[in-house]
Amino acid sequence: MADCYWITFLVVLFCLVGAFDASAGDADPLYRACFGQCKETGCAGETCFAHCNTPLNGSSSDDNWYLKEPLYLWLKQANCLSDCQYHCMLQRETERATHGFGPVKYHGKWPFKRVFGLQEPVSVAFSALNLAMHLHGWLSFFTLIYYKLRSNADETTCYNYSSLWHIYAFLSINSWLWSAIFHGRDMDFTEKLDYSSAVVLLGFSLIVSVLRSFSVKNEATRVLVAAPLLAFTITHILYLNYYQMDYGWNMKVCVVIAVSQLLIWSIWAGISHHPSRWKLWTVVVGGGLAMLLEIYDFPPYLGLVDAHALWHATTIPLTYIWWSFIKDDAKYGTSNSSKKDK
């Protein structure tokens, strides 16, 4: 429980050290003027978008049924806003570059060049690879638990944390799926789903780190440990979705949760004499170093590869080692419990 107090303390501390900073790009009055005009006229300067033109009387010259469907209209509107943001950003960045200014962030993201309609193609590719790595890791974990370990031992031997890792796998796959979609096209709903999925995954990972490192096997104690962390995670997601999408504050919350679990895992690896602790160390050190990319993020090189994309690249090999550790832990946990049974 002491960890929860530490997390709360750190979160409050970060909150006090000026959390409410918006992106410089979308605070720029010229960008706002362009975006405001584009939303009304469907044109960002010289560039106009056909899908931004909604007939004033609500009737369409084309009588296709789907043109009046709410989902179609909503997607059309979202696509229009995304295109307005993108082209106003491009225009402002060109103007800024001619005056000798460097790139700034817009709505929490650096200005990227679209490739095949994908806003951040490199991040999309790395997110898809991360998803594939989690899927591969989870499938091999599943095979290990339900086929290899169960057939080698009697029915009473079991690994106590398998359900936690199944949920972890589902949340990871969900998070990387939305990450790929969000990096493909930045819209209000894709952004909220990506940020929310990432926060859920981080919150749950922290819970798993506490439960595994303190070997919490009792259901009631698990609920007691998980409840405050879950409550905080849900409150934070509600804040982002329904009150304010504050990128600076969200980044600080995510860093505090991530650092907390890295600390928990590293201390546990140091004192537990786990046979695969070197894998844990690799993920902790690698994850810590990778996080530096996310904190000291630099603008995209050639408008394509930024610190965030590189961060997604580093998590691919780390994910492989991480699932390898989880499988080793399952073997270790099962052999320990069968020894105790004898």
Nearer to Zn ion, 283 or 309 (CB): 309
> Are 3 and 264 within 8 A, CB to CB?
yes
CB of 131 to Zn ion, least distance (A): 12
CB of 312 to Zn ion, least distance (A): 6
Q: Apex CA 209: angle with CA 232 and CA 242, to 5°?
A: 20
If one counts every other C-beta atom within 10 angstroms of the C-beta of residue 125, the result is: 16
Nearer to Zn ion, 174 or 179 (CB): 179
d(CA 310, CA 323): 21
d(CA 321, CA 42): 48
CB of 20 to Zn ion, least distance (A): 22
Burial code (b: 16+ CB inside 10 Å, e: under 16) for 143-174 equals ebbeeebeeeeeeebbbbbbebbeebbebbbb
> Are 236 and 198 within 8 A, CB to CB?
no
Closest by CA position to 247, among listed 311, 200, 294 = 294
Nearer to Zn ion, 48 or 135 (CB): 135
CB of 308 to Zn ion, least distance (A): 5
Task: Kindly compute the dihedral angle of the four CA atoms of residues 249, 253, 259, 263, in this order, to the nearest 10 degrees.
Answer: 150
Q: Is 290 helix (H, G, I), strand (E, B) or coil?
A: helix
- Report which residue's Cβ sits closest to Zn ion: 179
Nearer to Zn ion, 179 or 266 (CB): 179
Nearer to Zn ion, 141 or 247 (CB): 247
Nearer to Zn ion, 124 or 229 (CB): 124
CB of 30 to Zn ion, least distance (A): 28
CB of 109 to Zn ion, least distance (A): 9
Nearer to Zn ion, 80 or 290 (CB): 290
* 195 CB burial (10 A radius; 0-12, 13-18, 19+): buried
Count of residues engaged in binding Zn ion, rule: CB under 5 A: 1
d(CA 337, CA 18): 49
Sites for Zn ion among residues 157-196 (CB under 5 A): 179
CB of 18 to Zn ion, least distance (A): 24
Sites for Zn ion among residues 221-260 (CB under 5 A): none
Q: Which residues bind Zn ion (CB under 5 A)?
A: 179
